[in-house]
Amino acid sequence: MRTHRYLSSELKLVMIIIAGSFIVGCSGFDPADLPDDPDLSVTEENVFIRDSFERTDLFQPDDIHQILFGWMGFIWDFGTPVQGLTGNNVEARIFSNQELGPVASGERALYFFGREGYSTHNLYLISRSYDLSEYNTAILSFKYLTFQLNDEKLNDEYLRVELCEASLEECGVADGNVDALSGALNPTGLQSNNWKVIFQHDSSQDLKTWNGRNHSISDWANGIAILDLRDNEGTNFDRSHVVFRFSARMRDGFVENNLTKDLVDGAAIDDVLGRASKLTIEDIF
């Protein structure tokens, strides 16, 4: 119980500030309302995913790393599972703060980017399937930065977090703990409307001048999504098989698809932390 009280006080700090904004979705979200550095201390028992991307490759050839970091796989919308290195310039790749601008923490962060030249693509980084059936609330926090994902003409560029609200089969992630390279991910399900948006980036926070190299640490925004794990009436949402994903959509990427040039469409994440609590949202408030 001591743990819960401790957790509760931390959560109150964050949740009071963002009261009402996230429980059912992301409408009205304003990253400026969040504390600069949410103090989400953790106990090992309630962490289900944590990744600061302090490594060279998003995925290693063995499955151990994916278990370790909590991801099922990465895929882009042509349905080709990739390791973030062979996606025909539509990729998720870890860069250091020597290669691109400063990261939110440590020395590395994960960047999503598309391909130059008006071919809009979706990129999905998919979590493993988590059994959160013993919990009432889950909180996913992370740092993010987007680069010119503010195409007003198309309103078609974003960084989102989405939750599978149907069966894992219907979401295209049938074998919830098998890595992407095995072919377990199904592009049709991945692009279906079985995924509910639980966070969307604030496009007004995305300066049109950012190019992957000219931002500062303080430009990284706080992202947070809160799941009411009790709220599964009328859906197939199964809290014993919780799968979420980062979903990025963009038109372009690096200029001339050259990693040493400016990033004119992209999104970056760092410090991903998912925690589950037995407290209900009412308890927390």
Interface with Ca ion by CB under 5 A: which range of 53-61, 135-143, 186-194, 273-281? 53-61
Q: Does 270 bind Ca ion (CB under 5 A)?
A: yes
Q: Does 89 bind Ca ion (CB under 5 A)?
A: no
Interface with Ca ion by CB under 5 A: which range of 11-19, 45-53, 161-169, 200-208? 45-53
C-beta of 86: minimal distance to Ca ion in Å?
23
Distance of CA 93 to the CA centre of its chain: 14
Q: Does 51 bind Ca ion (CB under 5 A)?
A: no
| One residue of 265, 267, 275, 281 binding Ca ion per CB under 5 A | 265
Interface with Ca ion by CB under 5 A: which range of 59-67, 85-93, 97-105, 190-198? 97-105
Q: Does 63 bind Ca ion (CB under 5 A)?
A: no
Interface with Ca ion by CB under 5 A: which range of 73-81, 104-112, 191-199, 237-245? 104-112
C-beta of 52: minimal distance to Ca ion in Å?
4
d(CA 115, CA 245): 21
Q: Does 102 bind Ca ion (CB under 5 A)?
A: no
Size of the residue set binding Ca ion (CB under 5 A): 12
Taking the least distance from each CB to Ca ion, the nearer of 235 and 258 is 258
Q: Does 148 bind Ca ion (CB under 5 A)?
A: yes
Binding site for Ca ion (CB under 5 A): 52-53, 103, 105-106, 108-109, 148, 151, 157, 265, 270
